[in-house]
Structure 1
Amino acid sequence: MGRKEIICSWKKNTSNIKDVFDFKGKMGSGSFSEVFMVREKKTGKLYALKCLKKKYLARSNLENEINVLRRIQHENVVGLEDFYESRTHYYLVMQLVSGGELFDRILVKGVYTEKDASTVIKQVLQAVSYLHENSIVHRDLKPENLLYYNTDENAKIMVSDFGLSKTSEHGLMSTACGTPGYVAPEVLAQKPYSKAVDCWSIGVITYILLCGYPPFFEDNETRLFSKIMRAEYAFHSPFWDDISESAKDFIRNMMEKNPTKRFLTEQALRHPWIAEHTAKDLDIYQSVCEQMERNFAKSKWKQAFNAASVIHHMKKLQSSHTEPSPSQPSTSNIIVPSTSEKDLEAQGPCHDEADALNPNGNSIHKANRLCCSDAESGAGLCSPQRASEHGDALTVDQSREVNNFPSEIDAPFRPSKSLDAVSQRKDQSLTSGVCSVM
């Protein structure tokens, strides 16, 4: 049986990729690929170059990612610029975004309001609406996949990571995949589902943006998935006391258990919280950031280390050119790949034992991504817990019961009544993010 190949008419061939690009620094690596910051020799433009050995193609999501990205072009979607092939490798030339992850930017803002959250969600809705119009379902929307284009204060949001996306001309899908904390009830129940699953995920993201912790938290996998499938969440006091009723109504419509009653992107874009400026202008920075730091930020150690290495390369690059290219991003924020499961194991727990508790005093497990075998394409079942292309993803046998899926909470949820920790927090000198092509 011959080696699997990607067949497409627009693919470019090269005997040596270094004839096309100058390599300026390694941005990170996944299970089967490596990503480099490169400068195109002909134009001087900077890109992120994803390199995959051909022998790993069948085990990666690269072919699906290319098929999806080639079809789309939107100002809020990280774009595929080019595609090269050598004798041994495939190379994806991706738009280089330099503004960092959504949560990281919020943590360093100093002032943060509902209006800021509404502005972010509006851009996400516009991007996802465009995808849906083109019969593409993202299937893995989560904060890590929402990046800022650059370091400007009013930089636009970019949706990234299309490894699990699916073309859905026929409307319904069946593969259970995504990140459980953000995945819709019908996916966990292993029922046929539609593009409405993306809208559920946007609802979960909105919830987190307004309080800093996830809507579903449970120490037991069975109970966690049962809560999600029942859409059992609440607006807890005091964290939601100052949040507008309009915001809560928006979330309720996005996180509607019944997908036929759930808002689609067109309806969501018309909701007053998005379209009519009903979002409050009250500063909620302290409350939200304290919870984000407790529940999300502590997993950034490895990313910060990787980002420092890339920034060093960027500074060297900048000093070697008296007139940097207009496309060159700021050296203060470089996008780096998320930490892999293997890296996390080597690091040990990212959280103190005392932190790994929910409000009931129970421990909470680390997040994993569901990436099941693709029943829609007829692919065979994956063996349980085999690392996939994405460093933080696990493949799970689709025939297993729902309560055997790995549980997911991005980080332990333990709301704090004190806001002193935020006021005493030292500003981080480095903002890291998730590489848009990993």
Structure 2
Amino acid sequence: DAESVGGHSFPLKPARAKRVACSDFKVLFLKGSFSEVFMVREKKTGRLYALKCLKKKHLAHSNLENEINILRRIKHENVVGLEDFYESRTHYYLVMQLVSGGELFDRILDKGVYTEKDASRVIKQVLQAVSYLHQNSIVHRDLKPENLLFFNTDENAKIMVSDFGLSKTPEHGVMSTACGTPGYVAPEVLAQKPYSKAVDCWSIGVIAYILLCGYPPFFEENETRLFSKIMRAEYAFHSPFWDDISESAKDFVRNMMEKNPLKRFTTEQALRHPWIAADTAKDLDIYPSVCEQMEKNFAKSRWKQAINAATAINHMKRMSLSEPSPSPLCLPGVTAEAPTQNQQEPIVPHPDKNDPLDPNGNLVVSHHVTRGDPEATDLHSFHPESDTTFRPVKR
């Protein structure tokens, strides 16, 4: 048997047919070079799904199989689920849970009112999802704002963690392949040291930092200095941006962005912290300050452009530098520096606003494969497309 959706004829394997008999074509989300994403409706139940169609010939060296194996193992209310998977002679088809509420930063910018409590609620849900992953011996390895989606457009919609292309089930709890997005990657990854699930907690700390001030903790025009700062965990809570933020929030960030992974909070410890578990998050509206910085530094999909950490490490080796120095990194700038250094205004390119996204919020781009360890294959290598610069907002 076969069903036709959007011009595709889908051979249905008997064990799968009950899930993927989608006869009603609804919307073509996007059409990229190697994939198409449709919103489809299951014939029997009327339930909506996101159907991702991937051309096999472009995925010979991808980590799609790894992502599918990971997704098949997990089911959590804050994780975008894989409902089904099947294939034809030319395509793979992923039937995904439909998540329609948009990306984290876009939603914050549209709110109008935003407080520490809002940030705390978001981080708590991310921690619950990642704690579940860690309990199941899965490390996400690419946590960042664009992988955090709202389930729907409701005011109190839940947060969903997406994109498991770089996730890993480590043997003996230790990994060594450099991957992820440098702005959110832990120091031990950039230092090319063996690492563990603690890298996810670092990334959550970086996200929490941004949610509280609107700009990233690490910013530098010079890539060598940028990576050096990350490896030294050199960040600060700058005035006036952090003046109205609670000490509890700052303490939470410090414990998540602890340089030593052995001293860094686990997800369980983070979930017990007063800023998450108690009532220490302030209810003061910080929207004007955070929104102003966020619009300047991350406005509407600018943060989607990034290079992967494996590329950065390879670049470092080619240059024979003692500290990592990647190709130009899409990291927004903000006029704020560690107290002992001069302030600078990084110049950063950003991608085309019209770049297509898949249901998980990712750009549809050509696939990049890192040479060497097969674990290092990466579908998340983005490249600058514009010389447009943007500057931090000064108050």
Confirm or deny a common fold (TM above 0.5): yes
Q: Which of 52, 64, 67 pairs up with 1:65?
A: 67
Alignment RMSD (CA, Å): 3.0
Residues 297/11 of structure 1: CA separation in 2 closer, same or farther (3 Å cut): farther
Q: Assess if the C-alpha contact under 8 Å between 1:357 and 1:363 holds in 2.
A: no
CA distance in 2, matches of 1:204, 1:169: 26
CA deviation after TM superposition for structure 1 residue 371, in Å:
7.2
Residues 270/380 of structure 1: CA separation in 2 closer, same or farther (3 Å cut): closer
> Normalized against structure 2, the TM-score is what?
0.77
CA distance in 1, matches of 2:44, 2:306: 34
User: Which residue is 1:166 aligned to?
Assistant: 168
User: Which residue is 1:109 aligned to?
Assistant: 111
> Normalized against structure 1, the TM-score is what?
0.70
User: Which residue is 1:182 aligned to?
Assistant: 184
- After alignment, is 200-209 or 41-50 more displaced? 41-50
Q: Which of 121, 124, 127 pairs up with 1:125?
A: 127
Partner deviation per Cα, 1:26-65 (whole Å, 9 max, x = no partner): 2124563221111122221111011112222323221111
CA deviation after TM superposition for structure 1 residue 298, in Å:
4.7
Q: Assess if the C-alpha contact under 8 Å between 2:185 and 2:203 holds in 1.
A: yes
- Equivalenced residue count is 335
Q: Assess if the C-alpha contact under 8 Å between 1:175 and 1:373 holds in 2.
A: no
CA deviation after TM superposition for structure 1 residue 79, in Å:
0.4
Amino acid corresponding to residue 344 of structure 2 in structure 1: N
Q: Which of 132, 139, 145 pairs up with 1:143?
A: 145
Residues 10/235 of structure 1: CA separation in 2 closer, same or farther (3 Å cut): farther
> Relative contact order (C-alpha < 8 Å, sep 6+): which is higher?
1
Q: Assess if the C-alpha contact under 8 Å between 2:62 and 2:369 holds in 1.
A: no
CA distance in 1, matches of 2:368, 2:156: 34
Unpaired runs of at least 5, structure 2? 1-12, 308-331, 336-342, 352-362
CA deviation after TM superposition for structure 1 residue 294, in Å:
0.2
Partner deviation per Cα, 1:240-275 (whole Å, 9 max, x = no partner): 000000000000000000101000100000011101
Q: Which of 358, 374, 384 pairs up with 1:379?
A: 374
CA deviation after TM superposition for structure 1 residue 170, in Å:
1.6
User: Which residue is 2:348 aligned to?
Assistant: 364
CA distance in 2, matches of 1:364, 1:232: 20
Provide the secondary structure at the position in 1 that maps to 2:173.
coil
CA distance in 1, matches of 2:15, 2:52: 15
CA distance in 2, matches of 1:363, 1:206: 24
Residues 100/197 of structure 1: CA separation in 2 closer, same or farther (3 Å cut): same
Q: Assess if the C-alpha contact under 8 Å between 2:34 and 2:58 holds in 1.
A: yes
CA deviation after TM superposition for structure 1 residue 362, in Å:
4.0
Q: Which of 206, 213, 221 pairs up with 1:204?
A: 206
Q: Assess if the C-alpha contact under 8 Å between 1:218 and 1:364 holds in 2.
A: no
Unpaired runs of at least 5, structure 1? 1-8, 304-337, 342-354, 383-387, 395-405, 419-438
Provide the secondary structure at the position in 1 that maps to 2:73.
coil
Instruction: Give the fraction of aligned pairs with identical amino acids, expressed as a percent.
Output: 77
Residues 132/381 of structure 1: CA separation in 2 closer, same or farther (3 Å cut): closer
- After alignment, is 215-224 or 359-368 more displaced? 359-368
CA distance in 2, matches of 1:380, 1:276: 40
CA deviation after TM superposition for structure 1 residue 158, in Å:
0.4
